[in-house]
């Protein structure tokens, strides 16, 4: 019995290791190293990497691969098979015959468009906002905050890639360098570094641009929703670009009821179903003309 348990545990750990490719792991490590070095040179207190806000994000960094293996991948495979068996007409695959580079680039752009609107829905729909509040509860933004998402939000978010694949087809494997850059950009977006990327920052989400989305200031609520591309915020009037840094991160005092504990955060949205309280109301995005 024990050998079988050890074998099962080993296979599970191997499956966790394969969640990300080697280039992606290199991108994560490289960007996190850069964040630590730049933060130190800017005189930022290194103690932030030992306080609860960062350690909670670190717990999410460990949890997300576990969720992916236990829930994310099985759910995606089930939905894909269910659609193939019962609703094959939904598999449009409009770019299936296109060259791989066209399919891949088209997939990334269209998926980012869907991610933009999905992100807005997380702020507009009350029960989705109850999930997304966990992500916005971070008061000390750091690279690992990119993984601070409630597991039910991850279930909801997984539908974006499925819809994009049904519409366009499944892209081929991205080149290793592209995978590394995309992985690094994920960590950079929440790094709390005052980077704008210059002219490129008008197209690609920069750390300064996304930091504004996490601001506690009322005028910054519900702006800068983009995942990778900033063009959607500019086009739909939700972009807000300022030269000064965000003064504080987190939720407004009226919304700040998310527990600090990682385990309690996993239960937080579910507790709203059984604990009497004032109903949550999602915040309606303010349309802001891009500057």
3-state secondary structure 208-235: HHHHHHCECCHHHCCCCCCCCECHHHHH
- Please check the confidence at residue 99 and state whether its pLDDT lies above 90: yes
Exposure letters 142-173 (e unless 16+ CB within 10 A, then b): bbbbbbbbbbbbbebbbebeeebbbbbbebee
Residue of 147, 160, 66 lying closest to 107 (CA atoms): 160
Is residue 277 pLDDT above 60, yes or no?
no
Which residue matches tokens 């089930």? 78
Q: Which of 29-38, 86-95, 163-172, 282-291 has the lowest mean pLDDT?
A: 282-291
Q: How far apart are the C-alpha atoms of 133 and 245, rounded to whole Å?
A: 22
**How much is the pLDDT for 287?**
43
* 115 class by beta-carbon count within 10 Å (0-12 exposed, 13-18 middle, 19+ buried): buried
Closest CA to 26 of 227, 187, 190, 200: 187
The stretch 131-156 carries a mean pLDDT of 96
Work out the pLDDT band at 138, boundaries 50, 70, 90.
Answer: very high
Angle at 110 between CA 108 and CA 111, to 5 degrees: 65
Please tell me the least confidently modeled range out of 30-39, 116-125, 172-181. 172-181
Mean pLDDT of 160-179: 90
Q: How many CB atoms lie within 10 A of CB 43?
A: 6
Q: Round to whole Å and give the CA distance between 11 and 89.
A: 36
């960007």: which residue's tokens?
Answer: 31
pLDDT band at 291 (very low <50, low <70, confident <90, very high): very low
Residue 278 has pLDDT above 50, yes or no: no
128 with 244: CB under 8 angstroms?
A: no
Q: What are phi and psi of 247, to 5 degrees?
A: -75, -35
Residue-wise pLDDT tens digits, 217-272 = 989 988 999 999 999 999 999 999 999 889 899 999 989 999 999 999 999 988 77
Whether 168 shows a pLDDT value over 70: the answer reads: yes
pTM attached to this predicted model:
0.89
Residue 286 pLDDT greater than 50, yes or no: no
DSSP summary character for residue 5: H
Asked whether the predicted pLDDT for residue 184 surpasses 90, the reply is yes
pLDDT digits (tens, 9 = 90+) for 59-81: 999 999 999 999 999 999 999 99
- Is 126 a residue whose pLDDT tops 60? yes
- Measured distance CA(208)–CA(223) in Å, rounded: 13
- Nearest-angstrom CA–CA distance, 114 and 257: 29
Whether residue 207 contacts residue 34, with contact meaning beta carbons closer than 8 Å, is answered with no
Instruction: Name the residue among 201, 238, 197 with its Cα closest to residue 220.
Output: 238
């Amino acid at each position: 019995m024990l050998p079988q348990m050890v074998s099962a545990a080993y296979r599970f750990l191997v499956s966790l290791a394969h969640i990300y490719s080697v280039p992606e792991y290199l991108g994560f490590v490289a960007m996190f190293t850069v964040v630590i070095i730049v933060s130190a040179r800017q005189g930022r207190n290194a103690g932030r990497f030992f306080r609860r806000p960062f350690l909670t994000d670190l717990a999410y960094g460990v949890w997300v691969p576990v969720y992916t293996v236990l829930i994310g991948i099985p759910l995606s495979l089930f939905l894909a098979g269910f659609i193939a068996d019962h609703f094959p007409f939904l598999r449009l695959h409009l770019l299936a015959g296109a060259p791989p580079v066209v399919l891949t680039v088209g997939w990334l752009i269209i998926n980012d468009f869907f991610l933009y609107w999905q992100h807005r829905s997380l702020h507009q729909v009350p029960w989705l906002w109850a999930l997304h509040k966990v992500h916005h509860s971070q008061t000390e933004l750091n690279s690992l905050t990119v993984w601070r998402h409630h597991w039910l939000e991850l279930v909801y978010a997984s539908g974006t890639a499925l819809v994009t694949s049904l519409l366009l087809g499944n892209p081929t494997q991205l080149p290793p360098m592209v995978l590394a850059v995309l992985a690094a950009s994920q960590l950079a977006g929440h790094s709390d570094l005052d980077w704008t990327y210059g002219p490129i920052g008008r197209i690609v989400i920069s750390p300064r641009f996304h930091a504004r989305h996490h601001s506690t200031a009322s005028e910054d609520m519900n702006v800068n929703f983009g995942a990778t591309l900033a063009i959607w915020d500019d086009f739909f009037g939700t972009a807000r670009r300022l030269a000064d840094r965000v003064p504080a991160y987190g939720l407004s005092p009226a919304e700040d009821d998310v527990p600090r504990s990682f385990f309690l955060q996993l239960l937080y949205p579910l507790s709203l179903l059984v604990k009497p309280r004032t109903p949550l109301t999602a915040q309606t995005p303010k349309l802001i003309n891009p500057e």
